Amino acid sequence: MDKVAAHDPWFGIEQEYTLFEPDRKTPYGWPRGGFPDRAQGPYYCSVGTENAYGRAVAEAHYKCCLYAGLEISGINGEVMPGQWEYQIGPCVGIASGDQMMISRFLLHRVCEQFGIVVSLDPKPIPGDWNGAGCHTNVSTKAMREPNGYEVIKKAMERLGAPGKQDEHIAAYDPTGGKDNARRLTGAHETAPITKFSWGVANRGCSVRIPRMTEKDKCGYFEDRRPASNMDPYVVTGKIMETCIVPDC
């Protein structure tokens, strides 16, 4: 990260996680040995006891992160019931990894207090249920300045260069891509693990360019490939190595 310090890289990391009963088999709020009475749909960013399972945990963790001085910027219920997300950042450089690791520690401690187990597995429940990722939002000073969209498109070219997809997938979970292979199937708001793609406001791509970034011609991009159990130091470093180091 020292090599790219002059580029002032910012990272915002979206940590998805799944809450489980102490048996580590039953997602929190699910009937033991069974499934919810409704498929995915009503749970995302939901309200109501029948939809949101574990909000007390998510909010307690949010407050702990604030008290600890972390740059936590939000929480939300995720697509699969019992799954939640929080966002750390934007943080500058290696601080994003530091804050993410501290936030994960706090999450485990909060869950301990509630008698709940937290899982960072990228595909905790097989079948027609969303997996869990750690979407990583990235910008540099040049990307945030006027006409920075051209810098972002140059980064997309580098991420899509021959061999780069395999390199990044190998770095985006602790098993060299085996964990993510269960998640990046091309379904459930993911892109296929074998092919790099990018697009504007497209959650089915490897990398999403926000609509506002395209409109303003500057901003950031979101790499949607990192798994929920990724190493934030490895992931942010790999993105910088591919996108920015060639210009250093």
pLDDT tens readout for residues 73-132: 999 999 999 999 999 999 999 999 999 999 999 999 999 999 999 999 999 999 999 999
Compute the mean pLDDT over every residue in the chain, rounded to the nearest whole number. 97
pLDDT tens readout for residues 187-233: 999 999 999 999 999 999 999 999 999 999 999 999 999 999 999 99
Domain residue spans in the chain? 2-247
Burial category of 15 from C-beta neighbours within 10 Å (exposed 0-12, middle 13-18, buried 19 and up): buried
CATH class given for the domain over 2-247: alpha beta
